[in-house]
């Protein structure tokens, strides 16, 4: 008897979806499940800001009006949660991460970033993944502003890694010369998190 995951994967062809888009150990869903550490923050846009520091030539902070007025891009991408769900063809709009990195002039010795959010949440990323062409600070999902459960007013989007790396309620980025574990990484999750290599936990 086939497993749920095998049946789910077999249905993709009937939907006109290439099964190879689904990473191993994942199942496809049309839903957008809500998972996060801590409670949804109460965001005051008048006091909200986004700070960039660490190995940069100029530390800078943007307020909400400055962020929302920046040129945006749109991406259509698949997203993969470490809890094993995958959602195809999600549509996001926001500001490319490269736009901010160029504004602060990241120093050559920077190799990683530590992204911070409300409640002290953090996640680590190699610099090249943070600056990937599909990486952005997203404020719009499926044509609508982000809902509070999904990171309003701004979340990082790094869709080629497990979705815990796409930090909700983002507040800052620190550029580092070495890797430094974030919240889930300190609690057993993989330091990198490639869905197609099933890098979920330490040792994977």
Cis amide leading into 153 (omega within 30)? yes
How much is the mean pLDDT over the chain?
Answer: 94
In which region does residue 143 sit, left (phi positive, over 0), alpha (psi from -120 to 50) or beta (all else)?
left
- Residue 6 has which token pair? 């095998």
* Segment 32-46 mean pLDDT: 83
Pair 181, 191: CB distance under 8 Å: yes
Instruction: Please give the residue that has the higher pLDDT: either 147 or 32.
Output: 147
Instruction: Give the model's confidence band at 16: pLDDT under 50 very low, under 70 low, under 90 confident, else very high.
Output: confident
Residue 92 CA to residue 40 CA, distance in Å, equals 20
**Which pLDDT band holds residue 33 (cuts at 50, 70, 90)?**
confident
What is the domain partition of the chain in residue ranges? 44-197
pLDDT at 2: 62
- Please name the residues in contact with 52: beta carbons below 8 A apart, sequence gap of 6 or more: 59, 60, 61, 100, 101, 103, 104, 172, 173, 174, 175
Confidence of residue 169 (pLDDT cuts 50, 70, 90): very high
Question: Under CATH, what is the fold of the domain 44-197?
Answer: Sulfite Oxidase; Chain A, domain 2 (3.90.420)
Q: What is the pLDDT of residue 23?
A: 96
State pLDDT tens for residues 109-158: 999 999 999 999 999 999 999 999 999 999 999 999 999 999 999 999 99
- Tell me the average pLDDT across 64-81: 97
Q: Which two tokens stand for residue 14?
A: 């009937």
> Is the pLDDT confidence value at 177 over 80?
yes
Q: Is the pLDDT of residue 36 over 80?
A: no
Max mean pLDDT range (7-11, 28-32, 39-43, 143-147): 143-147
Round to whole Å and give the CA distance between 65 and 78. Answer: 29
Closest CA to 24 of 187, 198, 200: 198
Over 90: is that where the pLDDT of 11 sits? no
The SS3 call for residue 117 is strand
Question: Is the pTM value of this prediction over 0.95?
Answer: no
């Amino acid at each position: 008897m086939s497993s749920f995951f095998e049946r789910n994967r077999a249905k993709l062809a009937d939907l006109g979806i290439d099964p190879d888009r689904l990473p191993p150990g994942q199942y496809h869903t049309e839903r957008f499940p809500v998972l996060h550490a801590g409670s949804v923050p109460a965001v005051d846009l008048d006091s909200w800001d986004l700070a960039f520091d660490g190995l940069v030539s100029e530390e800078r902070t943007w307020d909400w009006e400055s962020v929302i007025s920046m040129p945006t891009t749109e991406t259509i991408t698949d997203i993969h949660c470490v809890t094993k769900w995958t959602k195809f063809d999600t549509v996001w709009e926001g500001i490319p991460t490269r736009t901010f990195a160029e504004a602060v002039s990241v120093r050559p010795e920077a190799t990683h970033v530590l992204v911070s959010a409300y409640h002290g949440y953090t996640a680590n990323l190699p610099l090249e993944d943070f600056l990937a062409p599909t990486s952005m600070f997203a404020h719009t999902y499926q044509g609508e502003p982000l809902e509070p459960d999904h990171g309003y007013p701004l979340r990082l989007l790094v869709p080629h890694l497990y979705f815990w790396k796409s930090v909700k309620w983002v507040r800052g980025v620190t550029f580092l010369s070495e890797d430094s574990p974030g919240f889930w990484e300190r609690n057993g999750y993989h330091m990198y998190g490639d869905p197609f290599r099933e890098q979920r936990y330490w040792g994977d």
